[in-house]
Amino acid sequence: MFFFNSFRPGSFRQKITRNVFTLFALFCLSAFLLLAGCSTEPDEGNLHGTWVNVFRDPAGELPDFITTIKINTSTMTIEYVDDYEGTIMNNPDFSAVNGVIIIRFTKYGDWGEEPTLEHENVGKYGALYWRDLGLNSVRMADAFIGFDRAMFNTIGEAQINFTMDKASDYIDWSIIGIYTR
């Protein structure tokens, strides 16, 4: 039963105000909790992150070969797992569709060897090119001359030689597989 005398002057307004304040506080808390659980990884379409390529022998005679490349744009470092680690020496646009990263090797390993600080290639400069960057896929390849990774002793030599115009001097894109996140 509804009684008019059950309301005191201002009582209804106080209840509404209290309810609006409570709803607002709950909304703010929900938004905070939602944002606190968000990933700190940059948006997709950026080269930052871990990329994996799985090569499967079409004849089925060889085991799968997995290549993992980790690019950290906040620390400007790169790791080609089980091959090399390095510092990114140029300032590429990591969200561009195509680009080149000039790397100063900080650890290096020959085929099948664990990368070390003592390798003769530590301190030299190489390059990783990328092409067709999409939301979750990209083509990436190190600069090679024949069967050897292309390297230079100085950053000046690397900057002159590792440009997008010269990518075809080092890479045959027709044989490069796709990396995914």
Record the tokens describing residue 20, joined without a space. 């609006």
The domain locations on the chain are 4-36, 49-180
Q: Tell me the backbone φ, ψ of residue 16, rounded to 5 degrees.
A: -65, -45
Q: Which of 68, 72, 67 is nearest to 46 (CA)?
A: 72
Q: Which of 178, 181, 135, 142 is nearest to 158 (CA)?
A: 142
Give the predicted TM-score (pTM) of the model.
0.73
What pLDDT, in 10s, does the model give residues 89-140?
999 999 999 999 999 999 999 987 899 999 999 999 999 999 999 999 999 9
Helical spans, DSSP H, in the chain: 11-36, 155-161, 167-170
